A and B are shown apart, each in its own frame.
Chain A
Amino acid sequence: MAGSQTRFADIPLRVLSPGRGAQIADGWSRASHVASEHVPGSNRTITFVLGSGPYEAEWRIECLADDYAALAEAVQTTATLVLPHGTQNAPGTVVDEFGDLYDHIAGVTLLGVSRETTHRTNRGMAVQANARFRVTG
């Protein structure tokens, strides 16, 4: 993962776009909590607006095998997620790291990893998996 500063805590990772190889597949999303009740005998529906959920994202990521082992251990821990600046919409702090801008998003919980696949790279064995993050801080 040479040159990549994308990481969760200190664990380097690359965010893949499924089938496209882009740096970031999809942005963060937030659940909109609403509840609706219909008034019988009318066309009226009351919508209770109950607020938004936390930012969440699920991406296909790739790590070296040793890094992936560390990432799997980090499930349900909370740390700072570092992503290239401008590629995501969650609140973060822009940091210049050796000439490249990165967004540091504090308080991100790694909810889980799944669908692992292993393949050989010129740097050794690498693991691709789906990783699910939530901004909880």
Chain B
Amino acid sequence: MNATTFATVEDAFAANALPVVLYARLGGQPLAVTEVTVHHSVDRAIGTCTAICAAPRPALLELNAELEIEVGYPGASRRVFWGTVDADESITDDSGRFVRLQGRDWAHALSYPEPDGIELAGPISLKDAFRALCELREVPSYLADETTAVDGVTTIMLGGNPDIDGGNVRIDADTAPLDWLRDVSELYGYRVFGAPDGSVRLARVSGLAQRDPGATPVRFAEGENVFRIRRSRALRGMATFIEVLGARYTASDGGAVAIRAIPDVVPYDARLDPPGYVPDSVSSQAIVTDQQAQWVRNAAEVDRAAPYELLSWEFAGRADLQPGDVATLHAPNHGIEETDIWLIDIDQSVDSRGYIGRYRGWRGGGQALAAGNDCVTARVPTSGAIHAGTQTIGYYRKPSPDSHKNDDGDWVVSVPITVSNAGYSSLRLTGICHGTNSIKNRTTITGSAVEVWQLDDPSLPESGTNERNRVGSVALPTADEELSRRRDYARSDRYWQAFSLPLPGSLKGGAAELRIVCGESDGGEIDDFELDDLRLAMCGVGMPVLPGSAGDV
């Protein structure tokens, strides 16, 4: 007669008689425990453990002592918890005297803020940011997937916007690295969590579950190795029109910028009828580039464009499984046939019921959508080029000047515009120009600018109580005047210069006025210049093609 020993975890998993082994080490020394429960989840960053031992408290038992739990079967046991004791209590009741230990795994090393905040040199990949923070906090064991966008190829880079924290990634003094990591990684379809093997992991849990190349996932099958199973589906949480809102900041040219990403077309989904789609938004100041916003949008679309489908089951514990692993589930009575799913929760317990593993799996789904245009661009209604100034110049596109002298003595051109949507996050004037803030042959002056004026209430006529006010102004770029060269501005754009100017101030929806103001040199010469192809680019107001709307496909 030989004591049962398994050569592999697979062998144990196939056996019907399973001798359970349970080992605990406290401060590196063996500790006799009678029961243990451990919880790990991709959605719960810190893994936890509860263990029971006989009272009185062992001499080894100090708060913050290292605690390690190993369970399984002879020859097939694995570590299922590694961390420290963060609480204990001794209890006497009719069931006896015992001590309950509470443990938390090493992810807790990331759970307190840095007094001065943390700055990571950017741009930096999500993976490297995770590794840097784990190193900073001396996490004993950590493991990171390659962090890529939904395409599986493009590395997710954080930071990189020179107008925000100099392009670096900053974690403020009130934010724990773990909170930051959890929030940021989730934006891109990744999770940060403590795993039963004692490592802190950054793993992709997004989209359809994909097994590692060459790996055969653990298979659970109804009628073979499942004690109980359930499958649930819910539309709650489903969203097919994802709007991503990132950082709002002032660019180096003074323009207000708000990062935003939307899809081009929102597909119709009969499960969401009416109206056939569900909108939702994801916002984070950690999204600092348009590219990042698109990655976040794609990840959210992949994960939320399908009903949230959870599968939960129980079987004999298997200590080599980790959250974030892929398992294959076969449950024909539940409509699941040989389907790969993400393991998102693993709860394991050893007690009088034996060694039970309780698993929750998520069948990812959904599809990323093509990017939509977040900006609405409208041509400024002018009849061709605008010649601001006072001189008639034959080689200009429009030789005769449009400016008139206003009551303030400024030479201006008034251009009426309409603000079609007051909910914009940034407004820019784009176009081409030549000769701005420059006279004669490349003599730089100042004062040529674009001012924005609007009535207090644009819907009412101008009156003593509804006055026209200057909302803001922005200087035009310096585009060299080249008098002696007499450039041919009329027939081509070759000698024109493109510009994109942020229009300051906050405009209401409705009528407004652009005033193109001519600068004046110290000698009193008025700047002559031309503007053409003027457009107002209003960002933050774009909308995708929605089901049922014009342009629906």
Q: Give residues in A with beta carbon < 8 Å to B.
A: 33, 35, 37-42, 44-51
Partner of A39, one of B224, B352, B353, B354: B224
B319 to chain A, nearest CB (A): 14
Q: Please determine whether B354 and A41 come into contact, CB atoms closer than 8 angstroms.
A: no
Q: With CB as the reference atom, state the residue of chain A lying closest to B356.
A: A37
Q: Please determine whether B228 and A49 come into contact, CB atoms closer than 8 angstroms.
A: no
How far is B17's CA from A35's CA once the two chains are assembled, in angstroms?
Answer: 10
Q: Please determine whether B224 and A44 come into contact, CB atoms closer than 8 angstroms.
A: yes
How far is B354's CA from A120's CA once the two chains are assembled, in angstroms?
Answer: 52
B18 at the interface (CB under 8 A from A): yes
Q: Give residues in B with beta carbon < 8 Å to A.
A: 4, 16-20, 222-228, 315-316, 352-356
List 30 contacting pairs A-B, 8 Å CB cutoff, sorted by A. A33-B352, A35-B354, A37-B227, A37-B316, A37-B353, A37-B356, A39-B223, A39-B224, A39-B225, A39-B227, A40-B222, A40-B223, A40-B227, A40-B228, A41-B222, A44-B224, A44-B225, A45-B16, A46-B16, A46-B18, A46-B227, A47-B16, A48-B19, A48-B353, A48-B354, A48-B355, A49-B4, A50-B352, A50-B354, A51-B19
How far is B20's CA from A35's CA once the two chains are assembled, in angstroms?
Answer: 10
A119 to chain B, nearest CB (A): 36
Q: With CB as the reference atom, state the residue of chain B lying closest to A48.
A: B354
Q: Please determine whether B353 and A35 come into contact, CB atoms closer than 8 angstroms.
A: yes
Given contacts A47-B18, A48-B18, A48-B316, contact A42 B354 (CB under 8 A): no
A35 to chain B, nearest CB (A): 4
Could you say which residues of chain A place their CB within 8 Å of the CB of B315? 46
Give the secondary structure class of B's interface.
loop
Q: Please determine whether B354 and A37 come into contact, CB atoms closer than 8 angstroms.
A: yes
Could you say which residues of chain B place their CB within 8 Å of the CB of A41? 222-223
How far is B19's CA from A35's CA once the two chains are assembled, in angstroms?
Answer: 10
Partner of B19, one of A37, A40, A49: A49
Q: Please determine whether A49 and B223 come into contact, CB atoms closer than 8 angstroms.
A: no
Given contacts A39-B223, A39-B226, contact A49 B352 (CB under 8 A): no
Q: With CB as the reference atom, state the residue of chain A lying closest to B17.
A: A47
Ranked 6 nearest A-B pairs via Cβ? A48-B354, A41-B223, A49-B19, A35-B354, A42-B223, A47-B17
Q: With CB as the reference atom, state the residue of chain B lying closest to A35.
A: B354
Q: Please determine whether B224 and A42 come into contact, CB atoms closer than 8 angstroms.
A: yes
Could you say which residues of chain A place their CB within 8 Å of the CB of B316? 37, 46, 48
Could you say which residues of chain B place their CB within 8 Å of the CB of A47? 16-18
Could you say which residues of chain B place their CB within 8 Å of the CB of A48? 18-20, 316, 353-355
How far is B352's CA from A49's CA once the two chains are assembled, in angstroms?
Answer: 10
Could you say which residues of chain A place their CB within 8 Å of the CB of B354? 35, 37, 46, 48, 50
How far is B218's CA from A35's CA once the two chains are assembled, in angstroms?
Answer: 24
B119 to chain A, nearest CB (A): 52
Could you say which residues of chain A place their CB within 8 Å of the CB of B225? 39, 44
Interface contacts beyond A41-B222, A48-B355: sample of 20 additional A-B pairs, CB < 8 Å, sorted by A:
A33-B352, A35-B352, A37-B227, A37-B353, A37-B354, A39-B223, A40-B223, A40-B226, A40-B227, A42-B224, A44-B225, A46-B227, A46-B316, A46-B354, A47-B16, A47-B18, A48-B353, A49-B4, A49-B17, A49-B18
Could you say which residues of chain A place their CB within 8 Å of the CB of B352? 33, 35, 50
Could you say which residues of chain B place their CB within 8 Å of the CB of A49? 4, 17-20
How far is B353's CA from A39's CA once the two chains are assembled, in angstroms?
Answer: 14
How far is B316's CA from A41's CA once the two chains are assembled, in angstroms?
Answer: 16
B54 to chain A, nearest CB (A): 12
Could you say which residues of chain B place their CB within 8 Å of the CB of A37? 227, 316, 353-354, 356
How far is B4's CA from A40's CA once the two chains are assembled, in angstroms?
Answer: 25
How far is B17's CA from A118's CA once the two chains are assembled, in angstroms?
Answer: 49
Could you say which residues of chain A place their CB within 8 Å of the CB of B4? 49
A105 to chain B, nearest CB (A): 22
A45 to chain B, nearest CB (A): 7
How far is B223's CA from A13's CA once the two chains are assembled, in angstroms?
Answer: 57
Could you say which residues of chain B place their CB within 8 Å of the CB of A44? 16, 224-225
A14 to chain B, nearest CB (A): 33
Could you say which residues of chain B place their CB within 8 Å of the CB of A42? 223-224
Could you say which residues of chain B place their CB within 8 Å of the CB of A38? 227
B23 to chain A, nearest CB (A): 13
B240 to chain A, nearest CB (A): 37
B350 to chain A, nearest CB (A): 9
Could you say which residues of chain A place their CB within 8 Å of the CB of B355? 48
Could you say which residues of chain A place their CB within 8 Å of the CB of B17? 46-47, 49
A42 to chain B, nearest CB (A): 5
Q: With CB as the reference atom, state the residue of chain B lying closest to A37.
A: B227
Could you say which residues of chain B place their CB within 8 Å of the CB of A50? 19-20, 352, 354
How far is B405's CA from A109's CA once the two chains are assembled, in angstroms?
Answer: 112
How far is B223's CA from A66's CA once the two chains are assembled, in angstroms?
Answer: 64
A46 to chain B, nearest CB (A): 5
How far is B226's CA from A78's CA once the two chains are assembled, in angstroms?
Answer: 45
A31 to chain B, nearest CB (A): 12
Could you say which residues of chain A place their CB within 8 Å of the CB of B228? 40
Listed residue (B20, B225, B226, B355) with the most chain A CB atoms within 10 angstroms of its CB: B20
How far is B226's CA from A41's CA once the two chains are assembled, in angstroms?
Answer: 9
How far is B345's CA from A113's CA once the two chains are assembled, in angstroms?
Answer: 50
Could you say which residues of chain A place their CB within 8 Å of the CB of B16? 44-47
Q: With CB as the reference atom, state the residue of chain B lying closest to A47.
A: B17
Q: With CB as the reference atom, state the residue of chain B lying closest to A46.
A: B316
Q: With CB as the reference atom, state the residue of chain A lying closest to B225.
A: A39
Could you say which residues of chain B place their CB within 8 Å of the CB of A40? 222-223, 226-228
How far is B226's CA from A47's CA once the two chains are assembled, in angstroms?
Answer: 14
How far is B227's CA from A35's CA once the two chains are assembled, in angstroms?
Answer: 13
Listed residue (A33, A38, A47) with the most chain B CB atoms within 10 angstroms of its CB: A47
B501 to chain A, nearest CB (A): 70
How far is B355's CA from A40's CA once the two chains are assembled, in angstroms?
Answer: 18
A51 to chain B, nearest CB (A): 8
Could you say which residues of chain A place their CB within 8 Å of the CB of B20? 48-50
A107 to chain B, nearest CB (A): 15
Q: With CB as the reference atom, state the residue of chain B lying closest to A45.
A: B16
How far is B316's CA from A38's CA once the two chains are assembled, in angstroms?
Answer: 11
B313 to chain A, nearest CB (A): 11
Could you say which residues of chain A place their CB within 8 Å of the CB of B223? 39-42
B235 to chain A, nearest CB (A): 29
How far is B224's CA from A125's CA once the two chains are assembled, in angstroms?
Answer: 65
